[in-house]
Amino acid sequence: MHPLQRDWHKLRLLHQRWLNEHDRVTGTAGDINLQRLRLLAPAVAVINGLLCFVFGMRLLLADLHATVQVWQVQLLLAHLVMGGVMVALAAGAQHWRHASRRWFGRWLPTVAMGLSLGFSVLLACIDQLVTPSIAPFLLGCMMTALAFHQRPTVSGLLYGASAIAFFVFMGQAQDQAEALLSNRINGVAGCVMGWTLSVMLWRKFTLLTLQQAELEKANNDLQIKQRELERLTRVDGLTGLLNRLTFVELTRGELARARRQGTATTLLVLDLDHFKRINDSWGHPAGDAVLRHVAALCMGTVRSTDLVGRLGGEEFIVLLPATTPEAGRKLAEKLRQRLEQSPVRVQDQLIQVTASIGLSGAGPQDKTADFDSLYQAADQALYLAKHQGRNRVV
Walk me through the domains of the chain, giving residue ranges and CATH numbers: 3-219 (no CATH), 244-387 (3.30.70.270)
Give the pLDDT mean for 26-40.
Answer: 89
Higher pLDDT: 289 or 229? It is 289
Could you report the per-residue pLDDT of 93-148, keeping only the tens digit for each?
Answer: 888 766 545 666 678 889 999 999 999 999 999 999 999 999 999 999 999 999 99
Question: How far apart, in Å, are the Cα atoms of 319 and each of 206, 220, 236, 306?
Answer: 56, 35, 16, 6
Instruction: Work out the percent of the chain whose per-residue pLDDT is above 90.
Output: 64
Task: Give the model's pLDDT for residue 306.
Answer: 93
Give the pLDDT mean for 37-56.
Answer: 93
Could you report the per-residue pLDDT of 202-260, keeping only the tens digit for each?
Answer: 999 999 999 998 999 998 988 888 877 776 678 888 999 999 988 999 999 999 888 88
Task: Give the model's pLDDT for residue 92.
Answer: 87
Identify the burial level of 385 via C-beta atoms within 10 angstroms of its C-beta, where 0-12 means exposed, 13-18 middle and 19 or more buried: buried
Q: What is the pTM for the complete model shown?
A: 0.63
Instruction: Work out the percent of the chain whose per-residue pLDDT is above 70.
Output: 95
Asked if residue 344 lies in contact with residue 355, where contact means CB atoms within 8 angstroms, the answer is no
Q: Is the pLDDT of residue 34 over 70?
A: yes
**Neighbouring-strand partners of residue 350:** 345
Task: Give the model's pLDDT for residue 97.
Answer: 67
Cβ neighbours around 197 below 10 Å, total: 16
State the average pLDDT for the chain.
Answer: 90
CA distance 62 to 73: 13
Asked if residue 392 lies in contact with residue 329, where contact means CB atoms within 8 angstroms, the answer is no
Could you report the per-residue pLDDT of 357-391, keeping only the tens digit for each?
Answer: 999 998 887 777 889 999 999 999 999 999 999 99
Q: Is the pLDDT of residue 64 over 80?
A: no
Q: pLDDT class for 262, splitting at 50, 70, 90? A: confident
CA distance 391 to 333: 10
Give the pLDDT mean for 338-363.
Answer: 91
Could you report the per-residue pLDDT of 66-88, keeping only the tens digit for each?
Answer: 889 999 999 999 999 999 999 99
